[in-house]
Amino acid sequence: MSLTYDDISSKTNAKIVPVLVDSIFKVSPLFTRIRTRNQVKFDGGVEIRQPIMYAKLKGGAFGRGATFDTSYVQTDTALRVLPKQYYTNVTIFGTDQILNRGPEAAMSHVESKMINAAGTMSENLATDIFLDGQGTSSPTINVDGLLGAIDDGNQFASYGGVTRTDIATGANVGINAYYKSVATLSLSELLTAYGSCWFGNERPDLLCTTQAVWNILWNKIQPQQRFVEESSDVAQIGFMSMKFQGATLTVDQYCPSGKLWLLNTNYIEFYTSTLPLFQFGFTGFKEAQQSIDVVGQYLWGGNLLIRAPRLMGQLTAIAG
């Protein structure tokens, strides 16, 4: 007969290390930056609206006795995005409260679930900010992400409720960004893209890409010109980064394969509701009917708004 416990196991408890180790979630310097530096309060309303100027007034040189063109010119419109909502569900079996308690509980079962809820919420948002939210690569109920915003109009004809060709055509004009498919990435190709997004003192400050593309750029930059960055916010919280034309170049593990984003984060706004429940808040546990099990939801509400797509760019289809 096989016994469940022997001389030692019948008298000795297991040593449980009271520290939960994350073996599933990845990291996103982009989401970390926009959540800490670019979060904007959303007090309420049916949509978030950003006025933009897209046309010039009449004007120019004139001679003696000339008449002016005084016709009215429509110069302004607005980008708009709708509020979106995300949740993470937490379910606890009521009977587990009997077991995970007292000196025999090395750590809280509920606490570990809440840590997981926060990580799951961050992962969902960090993934979706790289997609479109227009029903092509992600559903329309998702945040309006970079893919739909940072485009030249050939892949996504509109953004923020505005048809791109109604105000401009071409790269880095109107609400068009720089977009190019690059099979083999070179430094000159990256510099061209960077230069297209450069307007006076406005230029990309964060370049996000995959590990494979990072490796390509690391190998192409001459060793004496390769600067590991230590001063930026993403470097100070542990992400590896290096400088390119003054911008922080870093790996984002949620970035889709074969892409490199040139971002001016001064024009990216992460709107979050001022309602505490939707500020990464928790509903509290509620008992299910005819059960002692409890359920609660971790919530966020808001959206992502790219205020000036022409200051940004996307390189895609990079072979890594």
CATH assignment of the domain containing 173: 3.90.1690
Residue 252 lies in a domain: yes
Residue 15 lies in a domain: no
Residue 68 lies in a domain: no
> Token digits for 36?
């800490």
Residue 171 corresponds to which amino acid? A
Range of the domain at 204: 29-51+75-316
Among 13-27, 82-96, 150-164, 216-230, the minimum mean pLDDT is found in 216-230
Number of structural domains in the chain:
1
DSSP states of 232-243? SHHHHTT--EEE
Secondary structure class of 79 (helix, strand, coil): strand
pLDDT above 60 for 226: no
Residue 122 lies in a domain: yes
What confidence tens digit (pLDDT) does each residue in 156-190 have? 999 999 999 999 999 999 999 999 999 999 999 99
Return the pLDDT at 73: 97
Residue 10 lies in a domain: no
- HEC states along 60-128? CCCCCCCCCCCCCCCCEEEEEECCEEEEEEEEECCCHHHHCCHHHCCCCHHHHHHHHHHHHHHHHHHHH
Reference 172, options 314, 317, 50; nearest CA is 314
Return the pLDDT at 289: 84
> Token digits for 24?
């599933």
What confidence tens digit (pLDDT) does each residue in 107-152 have? 999 999 999 999 999 999 999 999 999 999 999 999 999 999 999 9
> Token digits for 184?
């083999």
Q: How does residue 242 score in pLDDT terms, banded at 50, 70 and 90?
A: confident
Return the pLDDT at 243: 87
Residue 301 lies in a domain: yes
Segment holding 188, helix H or strand E: helix 187-196
